[in-house]
Homo-oligomer: A and B are copies of this chain.
């Protein structure tokens, strides 16, 4: 049983503070949409599916607070909540997908009393959360089948339980493979600058006693060259209509190296990660984050004063480098525009 990234209870969204893991285990309590947006922006919670769930709950919090008000007042409150949550982070599309699902409920019954609407919105947020766990379980089963009986799997960033409602996408595949009796070990890229790999992926794997070896990001190529890596699995923050994948910065380099060494490169992501409105990766906005993430870590600074910094938080891996995209619906081998379209059309939960 993997960790519970968030808990929605009695008008509070409790989030594990992923900024301080694994040295401290603390939770942050969000009581409204503004606090939830702050938590997303500051990366208390991160990971595309987890951000989507948190945003839905953040909206539910404001809906609960405004329950009992006249609908116009309630609706104004919700409008503001949508805006603040949508502005929290730009790249992961699950955020916008979850907000649109919530908006669908909200706008479907404009005359429903606000207290009943609040109940419906809380229910929808909970459904998004529950479905995410179910999707990860399904993805895990589909992905586990792709791994050999014995495999060392390299992963970048954290696409684990902490990045989702639970079980994880990339780490969900690894967990499911282990549950199925496969002998899996993990190489975790530390994933500068936020160190999601060193802190979160390593922690999740150590907790469950799945053998994990931590490396600096720039060691991945050497590990592949030396024959230590059998497969790569990562998550995704947004997948374009042609199968291009935006994911944590550095994913592109891992994918290029994997291709050079003929190591299969897999992406595990729920259907909510697809953005069919983005024709290809160039249409995906790449978040630029603050310089101080790169000049040091937390309170420690090691770069000299006066240095400029670039801090793109994501990059785009072209579809040609991807062996398969694994969703809750199955596997898109060698993804391209036609296969992505067919896969999304076939899904019962068509998100576009």
A23 CB–B CB distance under 8 Å = yes
Q: Tell which of B189, B221, B222, B304 touches A199, judged by Cβ atoms closer than 8 Å.
A: B304
Copies held by the complex: 2
Which residues from chain B contact A23 at a C-beta distance below 8 Å? 301-302
Inter-chain contact A302/B222, CB cutoff 8 Å: no
Interface hits, A174-194 → B, CB 8 Å: 187-193
Residue on B nearest A221 in the bound complex, by CB = B253
User: Known interface pairs A253-B253, A295-B198. Does A223 touch B310 (Cβ–Cβ under 8 Å)?
Assistant: yes
The bracket for how many chain A residues form the interface is 35 or more
Instruction: List residues of chain A with CB under 8 Å of any chain B CB.
Output: 22-23, 156, 187-193, 195, 198-199, 202-203, 205-206, 211-223, 225, 249-250, 252-253, 256-257, 260, 286, 294-295, 297-298, 300-312, 315-316
Inter-chain contact B294/A202, CB cutoff 8 Å: no
Which residues from chain B contact A156 at a C-beta distance below 8 Å? 218
User: Known interface pairs A217-B218, A220-B253, A309-B214. Does A304 touch B192 (Cβ–Cβ under 8 Å)?
Assistant: no
Inter-chain contact B225/A294, CB cutoff 8 Å: no
State the CA gap A222–B281 with chains docked (Å): 12
User: Known interface pairs A257-B256, A303-B198, A304-B206. Does A217 touch B216 (Cβ–Cβ under 8 Å)?
Assistant: yes
List, sorted by A's number, 19 A–B pairs whose CB atoms are closer than 8 Å: A190-B294, A192-B217, A202-B307, A206-B304, A206-B305, A206-B307, A214-B303, A215-B309, A216-B311, A219-B250, A219-B312, A219-B315, A220-B253, A221-B253, A225-B252, A256-B256, A256-B257, A297-B297, A297-B302
Inter-chain contact B310/A213, CB cutoff 8 Å: yes
What is the distance, in angstroms, from A215's C-beta to the closest C-beta of chain B? Answer: 5
Inter-chain contact A260/B249, CB cutoff 8 Å: no
The 5 A-B pairs of least Cβ separation, nearest first, read A218-B250, A221-B253, A192-B216, A222-B315, A22-B304
